[in-house]
Amino acid sequence: MQNQTKSMLPNFFLCKFVPARLLCIEQTFYLAPHRLFFKMWFSMLACVCLLFAFMWRLWAVLPKSSSKPRRHSTSPCKTCIVLGSGGHTTEMIALIRNLDDHQYAPRTYVIADTDSLSEVKARQLEQERSGVEHKDYFILRIPRLREVGQSLSSVPFSVVKALLGSFKILSNMPDLIICNGPGSCISICMVAYLPRLLGIKHIRIVYVESFARVKSLSVTGRLLYPVVDNFLVQWPELLETYPRAIYNGTLV
């Protein structure tokens, strides 16, 4: 019995210099499973406490009905614009067309790395609005959340990849994120919540639901409805089910 226990211990415990007491503790650890359970209980309790702290903090930072920004109104607002696939990009370009170049600067366009058309559209818009002299914008490429036809087993990997890629948006700590529904909005909003949870910065998130949504929200919309600061819809029918939404007419 004694020999068996010894063989289970790492080699360095068996050398001469190890005090007998330490060896004893290790032996009781292996021989007494109830201590293991105690440790497990303790760590589980710690996890639950941590989870509660996290939930409380999340609840504290979730947008309330009257959450006005506390920022200086003359300084430019670092803006992050999430572009997605075809229809979403067309709508987004229309939404931001009238934003002031100097007030919303610099503008970061977040684009999935397989999407070349959105980049063309973004650059086109920037050229139309500002001519040549001030190029106050960046293109940021992030991995796409899910390719069409991707196998389900590889989804967790690409989710992690997309989440890690979304951290790039924090490089210049934007003041504002505008998104309108492509899947990458979710990972970006998750990342944008980190500074808010830690009390570093409140990055304002504005979500605009597509004109195509009359009575029901998109999956992204439903997920982001409780967490974004402003949720805009383009059909008044949606206000009945989603009272926190804002309807100001057709925006695109």
Partner 1 sequence: MRALVTVGSTGFDDLIRSVIDGKVLSTLYELGYDHLTIQYGSSKAIYNDRLERISTTSNRTPVIEGYNYKPDLKCDMVESDLIISHAGSGSILESLRLHKQLIVVVNEKLLDNHQDELACALENKGYLLRSTCRQLSDVLNALKNKYFIPFPEQDTSIFASFLNNEMGFK
Sole window of 38-46, 55-63, 64-72, 136-144 interacting with partner 1 (rule: CB under 8 A): 64-72
H or E element: which one contains 177? Answer: strand 176-179
Residue for token digits 């760590």? Answer: 43
Would you say 34 or 68 has its CB closer to partner 1?
68
If binding is defined by CB under 8 A, does position 230 make contact with partner 1?
Answer: yes
Q: Which member of 208, 228, 233, 245 binds partner 1 (CB under 8 A)?
A: 208
x-or-dash pattern for partner 1, window 6-45, by CB under 8 A? ----------------------------------------
Q: Which member of 204, 205, 231, 233 binds partner 1 (CB under 8 A)?
A: 204
Sole window of 83-91, 106-114, 150-158, 166-174 interacting with partner 1 (rule: CB under 8 A): 83-91
Kindly report each contact of residues 230-233 with a partner whose C-beta sits within 8 Å and lies 24 or more positions away, as own/partner: 230/204, 230/205, 230/206, 231/207, 232/206, 232/207, 232/208, 233/209
Beta bridge partner(s), residue 159: none
CA distance 125 to 117: 13
Minimal CA–CA distance to 230: which of 245, 242, 218?
245
- Which tokens in the block code for residue 214? 């009359």
Enumerate binding residues for partner 1 (CB under 8 A). Answer: 68-69, 71-73, 77, 86-87, 90, 94-100, 103-104, 175-176, 178, 204, 206, 208, 210-216, 218, 229-230, 232, 235, 237, 246, 248-252
